[in-house]
Amino acid sequence: MEHTNIIKKTIDYIENNLDSQLNLDTIAKEAGYSKFHLNRMFLECVGCTIYKYIQMRRLTVAAEKLVYTKKPVIDIAYEANYSSQESFTFAFRRLYGHPPQEYRAINVYTPKFHKFELKGNLIMFYKPAVKCEVIAA
């Protein structure tokens, strides 16, 4: 049960600091564990590494901003902690199947990676109630 509390605390810290420079050393220090042990516990509970969780959550938040704001793509890329629009576009396309500009034009937000919730020893995550698909005419 203690592992669950540590992972909950770690996820909350990550979610509250997604727009900051997050690194494993800082997160591990916040949790009070070595980065290797924390990452191993995280992988066991969540199913991915801390780095992958951060990357996927940032891209999902970026997708939401692309649809619901008029911010330039470069600003969204920097907010997601990408050093260039090119690296952001590459990562975004790998996850969403479209470059950011094209995804924005589709104008349908489909989150690909939800925040994990731990309830007791169970892993929960948010899912949209309705799956939205764009059908080409």
Q: State mean pLDDT over 64-85.
A: 97
Q: What is the C-alpha separation between 31 and 29, in angstroms, rounded?
A: 5
pLDDT at 87 over 50: yes
Residue ranges covered by each domain of the chain = 2-125
pLDDT at 91 over 70: yes
E strands within the chain?
Answer: 116-119, 122-125
Q: State mean pLDDT over 44-65.
A: 95
| CATH number among 3.40.50.1860, 1.10.10.60, 3.40.50.300, 3.40.50.150, domain 2-125 | 1.10.10.60
Q: What is the C-alpha separation between 121 and 3, in angstroms, rounded?
A: 9
pLDDT (tens digit, 9 = 90+) per residue, 93-128?
A: 999 999 999 999 999 999 998 888 776 655 554 443
Of the listed ranges 30-44, 71-85, 97-111, 116-130, the one predicted with least confidence: 116-130
Distances (CA, A) of 61 to 5, 24, 49, 119: 25, 20, 18, 23
